[in-house]
Amino acid sequence: MDKRIVIAAYRRGIITIQECAQIIGVDSKQINRLVDESILPAPERPRLEGRSV
């Protein structure tokens, strides 16, 4: 899985930092560094245009 997507899910509050580390496959010290150094935005989901809500 793309690390950017996992880190974005953590930043949005969807998963915990521990879950993020487990998915990526690193320990807690490494995940903190990865999250801090992550400057690339996660790919955005396509928006559905022209639909009324």
**Are the CB atoms for 21 and 28 separated by under 8 Å?**
yes
Query: Taking the CA atoms of the chain, what radius of gyration do you get in angstroms?
Result: 13
Mean pLDDT, residues 17-46: 80
42 pLDDT higher than 60: no
pTM of the model: 0.65
d(CA 16, CA 34): 14
pLDDT of residue 19: 95
pLDDT of residue 33: 87
From the number of C-beta atoms within 10 Å of its C-beta (0-12, 13-18, 19+), residue 26 rates as middle
49 pLDDT higher than 80: no
Please give the single-letter amino acid code of residue 32: N
40 pLDDT higher than 60: no
